[in-house]
A and B are shown apart, each in its own frame.
Chain A
């Protein structure tokens, strides 16, 4: 258990990422799916920050900064899409949007 190393962050990141991924695959509510995406992004942020610390480099934190901005943008657009869809069909799940079926 000794000293804190960046590996702790990597492991935590891996765990959260996997949980997010499973959630994304399992849940049908688009809003929850978005939340799972946020989980995955946060997992990545954790590894960035952990590695920035481990490598003693501010660059990792910068990356996290940008990830957050992009996440914000993504959520804004994604939620707008969800709103647009929900207006057309109440309570739509992601499985209802399969018009692109081959």
Chain B
């Protein structure tokens, strides 16, 4: 077992355990922290296969910026309370999700197992192990830069535009509009929830009546 494989496996355990943590932790803050764990693990995996630049921005952008953004939002909105994982309003969603996830995993693995060789055309610019005129291996950043600013320059520009639009959009949406906010439209779920609450209330009232207690006060209790 080479160092490479060892590193990969170690990082892999970090990644997978982080991912499971994200899914299972009731508190979004915990989930965010687990996500950071996963992202760091991924960064390590990048390093293993010589994607140095990507590993760097994985840490800087993802872990540094995106997850922090998540945490900001969680804190801003104060939604850091635990989600009740015991109930599932949509009937059959959870088993279906697990079956689907399992099937997805199984099939993907089956596909990987059944494909024995790699095929595919080259992209126009550069192999990973390209060298300069002197025969020295090119730094990863240089290679990536060359590819991005030649072959993919149009995509790059468009991405820039996309980011700008996203920022503008985010600002517009998150802006606080003066005056009262339009409440969310009522949904079927709301109705069922209210019905359930009402049923519970009337049940309580009945119980209270049985016990000879005033209904209103029971409601307040």
Query: In the assembled complex, how far is the CB of residue A93 from the closest CB belonging to chain B, in whole angstroms?
Result: 8
Once the chains bind, are A4 and B48 in contact (CB under 8 Å)? yes
Q: Given the known inter-chain contacts A31-B70, A72-B61, A76-B170, please indicate yes or no for A58 contacting B126, CB distance below 8 A.
A: yes
A residues near B140, Cβ cutoff 8 Å: 61
The answer to whether A66 and B159 touch across the interface, beta carbons within 8 angstroms, is yes
Contact: B148 with A65, CB < 8 Å? yes
Instruction: Judge whether A88 and B31 touch: CB under 8 Å.
Output: no
CB distance from B88 to the nearest CB of A (A): 8
Q: Cβ of A19 and Cβ of B101 under 8 Å apart?
A: yes
- B104 close to A12 (CB less than 8 A): no
Question: Is B133 an interface position by the 8 A CB rule?
Answer: no
Q: How many A-B residue pairs have CB under 8 A?
A: 274
**Residues of B that sit less than 8 Å from A by CB:** 1-2, 4-5, 8, 12, 15-16, 19-20, 22-23, 28, 31-32, 35, 38-39, 42, 45-46, 48-51, 53-54, 57-58, 61-62, 65-66, 69-70, 73-74, 76-77, 79, 81, 83, 88-90, 93-94, 96-98, 100-102, 104-105, 108-109, 112, 118, 120, 122-123, 125-130, 140, 143-144, 147-148, 151-152, 155-156, 159, 162-163, 165-167, 169-171, 173-174, 176, 181-185, 187-190
Chain B interface helix/strand/loop/mixed:
helix
**A34, B70: Cβ atoms under 8 Å?**
yes
**Is the pair B187, A98 in contact by a Cβ cutoff of 8 Å?**
yes
| Nearest CB on A from B39, distance (A) | 7
Distance, CA A75 to CA B151, complexed state (A): 27
B50 touches A96 (CB 8 A): no
Query: Which partner residue on chain A sits nearest B22 by CB separation?
Result: A35
Q: Which B residues are in CB contact (< 8 Å) with A85?
A: 184
Query: How many Å from the CB of B73 to the closest CB on chain A?
Result: 5
Residues of A within 8 A of B102 (CB): 18
A:55-85 near B, CB below 8 Å: 55-59, 61-62, 64-66, 68-77, 79-85
Expressed in whole angstroms, the minimum distance between the Cβ of A71 and any Cβ of chain B is 7
Whether A31 lies near B170 (C-beta < 8 A) is: no
